[in-house]
Amino acid sequence: MPRSSMQSDFSVNREPIAIEIPEGMSAEEAAELPRAFLRSNEATARSTKIVMTLTFVMLVVLVLICAIGPHIPAGE
């Protein structure tokens, strides 16, 4: 699909950054990314299941209270 004449390409004109490569290392070795480690503060599958189970239990209790509550004598 052709681009509209109203759209423009985003471009930045900057000087390239010079990086010094240590002696004895090739440019390809210097360009490799370091080993990545998963460091996350997100919930695990186990904790998600626990929270979902507690939520389900609380909803069931709420439904029971709503269903049984009107049939409990008021104590008059």
pLDDT tens track for 16-64: 888 788 888 887 887 777 777 777 777 888 989 999 999 999 999 999 9
Tokens matching residue 44:
């695990």
**What's the pLDDT at 29?**
82
Give the residue with greater pLDDT, 12 vs 21: 21
pLDDT band at 1 (very low <50, low <70, confident <90, very high): low
pTM listed for this prediction: 0.42
Dihedral (CA of 16, 19, 21, 27) sign: negative
pLDDT at 71: 77
* 27 conformational bin, left if phi > 0, alpha if psi -120 to 50, beta if neither: alpha
